[in-house]
Every structure is written in C-alpha cells, then in structure tokens.
Amino acid sequence: MQHPHRNFLSACLAFGVSLIALNAHAFQTSAPPEPAKFPAEGKIKYVERDSILEFKALPNYSEPDWVSEKFEKTGKLPPLKDRLPDEPLVYKTGNMPDGTGVYGDTLRHVVGGRPEGWNYMAGQTQGWGGIDIALSECLTRTAPLFQVDAKDTEPLPNLAKSWEWSQDGHKLTMHLIKGAKWSDGVPFTAEDIMFYWEDGVIDPNVSPLGGGASPEAFGEGTTLTKIDDYTVEWTFKSAFPKQYLYTMAYPNFCPGPAHILKPQHPKYSKNTYNQFKNAFPPEYMNMPVMGAWAPVSYRPDDLIVLRRNPYYWKVDEKGQQLPYVDEIHYKLSTWADRDVQAVAGSGDFSNLEQPENFVAALKRAADENAPARLAFGPRLIGYNLQMNFSANGWGSPDEREQAIRELNRNQDFREAVTSAIDRKAVGDSLVKGPFTAIYPGGISSGTSFYDRNSTVYYPYDLEGAKAALAKIGLKDTDGDGFVNFPAGTAGGKNVKIVLLVNNTYTTDKSLAEGLVGQMAKLGLRVVLNSLDGNQRDAAHYGGRFDWLVRRNTTELASVVQNTEQLAPVGPRTSWNHRAPEGKQVDMMPFEKEMVDLVNRFIASQDNAERAALMKQYQKVYTQNLYTIGLTEYPGALIINKRFSNVPQGTPIFMFNWAEDAVMRERLWVATNKQGKYELFPQQLPGKPGDKGPIN
Ligand code: GLA
Ligand code: CA
C-alpha cells in the first residue's frame, strides 16, 4: 500500500518544521511554520486607559468663529453652552500626540462601497470605509484601546459616561451623557437607547449593520430597562459579564435618532419592515447623528459630503468644541483607488490592506517629499475560506447545495481541501516578500491571545488530499478531471461548489481565483459567484453560498471584540453557520466545544483562565477546520502628512478599523498647511430631510 505521506517527514526535517501533533487523523499536522519577521514600523506608545478622556464641565467653551458669527449671533443656533451636555467628553491634552488643535480643512476619504441609505439600525450600509463610524456613536468605545497596554483594561466610556455593577454582578447600571443633543438639536435620552434595543436588537425582523447585534450577542436572557431619562439598567444571567461592555461598542450598540426612526417603524406605523429599512435612502440629507459630522450632500457614484455637527458633545481641554476638521469627503470610487489617491495626495487616508498595492505604495511613500505617511502594523489582516455548515435549511438549499453542505460537514472532506492548498503560493500570488504568512485559520497571529503551539496546521499535501477525497467516495467516474458525487447523491454528477466572493476587492478576487485553480488540481470543480459588496453581504447573511472567501472580522483580530462571533453561540452569531428562522443551529460536536469555550471565556474574569481557554479554542478550531485559513499579513495606515494628532502606531485593524482608532474628531491641520478642499465652507447641516446644508 502506498503511503500518501511518505515524503512528508523528510520534508519537515528539511524545512525545520516540528511535528507536534501525531493524531488519529490521516494527515500529519504540525504547528504552522514560523512566519517571516515583520516588525511593525509604527511603534505604539502605550498609555493608561484613564489618560485618554474624562467627562467634566469646563469654565468656557468655544467653536469656530464662523459658527458663532453666522449661526449663534443671528439666533439660528442656541448658545454653545446650551448645545453641549452638562459634562462634555473632554479629550486630555496629554494623550494628544500634537496637543490641542485649530479649526478648519477637510478630511478626504475614498471608498469602494456604496450607500444603501442611512438606516444603520435596520442593517443598511452607508458604504463602509468609516462613513458609518463617523456618523454613529456607541455606548462604549474600543478602537482607541490599541494603545492601552493593560490586561485588565475595559472599554472606554462614550454615550454611556459611567457604569456600576450590582454587588452580585447581575445588574449593570449605565449613566448616559446628560444634556447631549442629536445634530438637529433634539435631546439624546434613554428613549433612543430603549428604541434601539426593543425595536432593533430584540425585534427579530430588524438586524443592525454588521449583522452581529442579535440579542445573544449580549448574553441569553439579558434584559435592558429604562430607569430615567439618563439611566438604563442591564440584567444578565451570569455575574459580572464584563465582556459585554465590548459588545456595547461599535458596531453593536450605536443607536439612531428615535425621534426620526420610530415613526417609520412597523410597530408604530403602517410600514412593512422593508419600508422601514428603506425609509431613509441615500438622497435623504441631514440625517440626525450623534457623530462629529452629518451628511449634507450625496451624488451617486461620485461623492458624499459631511459637515460638522454643531451639537457635538466632545471638546478639548481648552473647551474647544470638536471636531477640528469642518468637512469630510467620501469619494465613491474603488478600494484600490483609495490606496492610489492616498499615496498621491489627492486623498487623505487609506487602510493599505490589499497586498497587490503594497510595493507601489511603499515605493511612493519612501520619497521624502511624499505627501502621505505610511506605517505598517501587526499581522492582523487574514483571509479564510468559509464553508456553509447549515444542513437544516439556512438559505433554503436545493439538492446540490444540500449535498455540498453535507460534504462541508465532513471532517475528511475539510482535511482534503485544506491539505490541497499551497499557502506559500497563495501568499506569493498576492505579493512577494516578508508580508504574507502561512495561516491555517483561527485567531490571528498578531493578537495577544495567539499561541502558535495550539495552532494545528495541515501542510500542503496534494496526493494525500486526493486520497482523502477517494476515501469518502468522491471519484471522477466520467473521466473529465473532476470528482463526481457517488451514484445516488445529486445524480452522481460532478461535485460543483459555488464560491461567493466580493468583487470590489482585488485581493478577494485573486484569492478566490487562486482557489479555483488549486481545487481543480485536487479534482474539485469550484465556480465563482462574484458579487459587489452589498449584494455579496445579502447572499452571505441570507445563507445563499456553498463556500465563501472572506476577510477576517474583528473577533479573530482582537478576540475580545465581537467575541460571540467566534462560534455559533446564537442562531445568528457565526459567519458560516447560522440557523434558519425558528430553528436552532445544527451544530457538530466540535462546534459545541467551541461554543462552550467561548461562553466560558465570556463569563471568566481570570486572565490566565481566559488565555488558556483561547488556546483550547484555537486547537479545536484549527484541528477541526471550522474555517480554512488562506493567508495573513500586516496592513499599513496611509495618512496625509498635514494631519496632526495621528496616534503613533495606529493599527489599521484591531478592535475596529483605523477610521475609529485614529479618533478623527481630534485630528487637526495647522493653519499654514490647510488645503482648499471644502465644498460647503461656513455651512452647517440643515433640517432632517432637507436638501442640503444651511448657510
Ligand atoms: C472597508 C474597508 C476597510 C475599512 C472599513 C471600515 O471594509 O475595506 O479598510 O475602511 O471599510 O468600515
Ligand atoms: Ca467528473
């Protein structure tokens, strides 16, 4: 009998790979090879959590002169101190890299997404790239925590300015910022919070943007009640589940304006849920926000413009109302163009995340006179092949699709697929050099919870993979090079797998096309379902896919943010295994183990225990191939040199994207460096629904 792995041992010895897990599986696994060293260039300056911000009243407040002259003195706006909360959020100067700033200028973003509308709460995208992050404020905030080097840290206060736990740890009382207003001047209160919770999160027909804010994300049986206008109280089944403070940050607890949304919600109107979702199309201007800028102009496939919110509730220590920057642009283009424009200086900001652009961007940025700074961070961008594990109806599969789901649920099949992927070639196909690393799947190697020795890697072994397919009865019975289903399953036809991919990213497309080729060598026929971002998301969340290629989200890059998405802890928390309506997730035994580990992680207050649980999680995940890792690499933040207050070492991705981590409301541009990019100088957001800004 031929042993499919006869060359494996010698190969391992030759490459210095250690064999740590000689298990019962047909494939011999190991820890992944040590990745090429890639020191993050932007060294993070670590600070104490409490050094970033506080809430307090200041003796005086100020705003741009043109706002006081044109709007306040003419009675178009109430006095500034009446627009600010009793105790605004104050950013401490000591934590500002360049200190307090001056007003003016424009931050020019470029995005590859397109807005569906402004109903974030009903799951509409605003086009990504940080648009929604600029509009929405959430109960807590975590993105800036990348600079806090404390294991015992917790999320920063934001709309919730403080909180305390009951003695038994089952109740959490949150104090909301008092006297703050939406950008149209209407008070922000516990009503907004309760509306978001009752008619968004726990209404099964509404699912806020990001898809993760289902009730389970806050723990089974969790309730929220209003105590008074500025106090809400959470009740949890478990004691001190501090992990949920992270769930209350972006993207899961960012309420919208109840006074605008509620009248359109089916519970309070004749609207259907679909009509509610679409009640605020992109053309609807001046949607009230709690964020630093509100949308005032939209031209399809061209541009979205945001202007400063005169009711913004954050200030600097001098009492200057934030933001410093008056206008934000979102050029509606492509993601690749975002990199090109940022390095060229016609855009101001990019998360350099598509390796195909690394070399050109690096060359350009190396020039002393380059308009933008570029700094790489840790290896936190990863891609996985995800298989649809639902065999009980998510996405209403037809016969072929159901047969694929059964295959996806077969460990031997997953082992064959992962072993047929040459990950070195995958990485090199994106960019040559020390960037990409072999990634078996699971927690990103750039996070503190990562443990290489708990990571199970199935090395490239095409012959072994073919043998494994044959073992489960997949053979090419008609000699066309692709394996067929056994007679009796799906008509004995060729196994055909449809791979869902987002065609607005070069990297996603390259990886998917590469997979088609590598799977063909294995004898598996894979065809692409290549959709633009919004359609892709709809297909994904609707369960209409066999496989998908997908960039990792924050649970794998941070572990503590969106933790519930690490496993099917609820019917809608997993990315590749959700339940059809009214049913439970049909979990495989190893998924139950994962769920148990994640739930224990969420409930635990003990750092050593949490670290140990994540090691076990990583092992179960990678051993059983919950997803199939493809590659991982670092990303770089590109930002125009005229901006001050960019925190050193800001990663493009960790608890959230860099658009949040850089704290855009604190960015400023020195007067002599300011550009002339403003399209609506000295104008402010108008009334909700009005055409544009006001003079
Ligand atoms: C997209 C981009 C990311 C980031 C996020 C922000 O996903 O690819 O770089 O800008 O939007 O939501
Ligand atoms: Ca065939």
For residue 214, what pLDDT is reported?
A: 79
Centre of ligand 1 to C-alpha 571, Å, is 26
| E-state strands within 229-347 | 231-235, 293-299, 303-308, 314-316, 327-332
Best mutation site among 380, 655, 657 for ligand 1 pocket (most ligand atoms within 8 Å of CB)? 657
For residue 5, what pLDDT is reported?
A: 41
For residue 253, what pLDDT is reported?
A: 95
For residue 654, what pLDDT is reported?
A: 95
Atom 5 in ligand 1: residue holding the nearest Cα = 129
Residue 130 near ligand 1, beta carbon < 6 Å: yes
Measured from the alpha carbon of residue 110, the closest ligand is: 1
Residue 439 near ligand 1, beta carbon < 6 Å: no
Residue 351 near ligand 1, beta carbon < 6 Å: yes
Confidence check: pLDDT of 691 > 80: yes
| Helix and strand counts by DSSP (H, E) for the chain | 20, 24
Residues measured by CB to lie within 5 Å of ligand 2, the ion? 476, 478, 480, 482, 484, 494
pLDDT one-digit tens code per residue, 372-386: 999 999 999 999 999
Measured from the alpha carbon of residue 336, the closest ligand is: 1
User: Regarding beta strands 668-669 and 106-111, do their DSSP bridges make them parallel or antiparallel, or are they unpaired?
Assistant: unpaired
Longest dimension (CA), the chain: 91
Q: Where residue 459 falls among pLDDT bands split at 50, 70, 90?
A: very high
Confidence check: pLDDT of 2 > 60: no
For residue 38, what pLDDT is reported?
A: 78
Position in ligand 1 atom list of the atom nearest CA 132: 12
pLDDT one-digit tens code per residue, 205-222: 998 776 666 788 899 899
Nearest to residue 583, comparing CAs of 394, 328, 396?
394
Domain spans of the chain, in order of start: 49-376+636-673, 380-633
CA distance 602 to 573: 14
Q: How far is CA 119 from the centre of its chain?
A: 18
Contact status, residue 129 vs residue 111, Cβ threshold 8 Å: yes
Using a pLDDT cut of 90, give the percent of the chain over it: 90
**CATH, range 49-376+636-673:** 3.40.190.10
What average pLDDT does the segment 15-31 reach? 58
Residue 345 DSSP SS3: coil
pLDDT one-digit tens code per residue, 57-86: 999 999 999 999 999 999 999 999 999 999
User: Regarding beta strands 496-502 and 547-551, do their DSSP bridges make them parallel or antiparallel, or are they unpaired?
Assistant: parallel
What average pLDDT does the segment 23-49 reach? 82
CA distance 186 to 262: 14
Distance (Å) of CA 235 to CA 140, 157, 246: 17, 19, 16
For residue 212, what pLDDT is reported?
A: 61
pLDDT one-digit tens code per residue, 413-439: 999 999 999 999 999 999 999 999 999
Centre of ligand 1 to C-alpha 56, Å, is 33
User: Taken in order 143, 445, 443, 130, is the CA torsion positive or negative?
Assistant: positive
Average predicted confidence (pLDDT) for the chain = 94
Pick the CATH number of 380-633 from 3.30.450.20, 3.40.50.720, 2.40.10.350, 3.10.105.10: 3.10.105.10
Q: Where residue 19 falls among pLDDT bands split at 50, 70, 90?
A: very low
Residue 353 near ligand 1, beta carbon < 6 Å: yes
What average pLDDT does the segment 532-560 reach? 96
Best mutation site among 107, 351, 383 for ligand 1 pocket (most ligand atoms within 8 Å of CB)? 351
Atom 11 in ligand 1: residue holding the nearest Cα = 129
Rg of the chain, C-alpha, whole Å: 26
Q: Where residue 642 falls among pLDDT bands split at 50, 70, 90?
A: very high
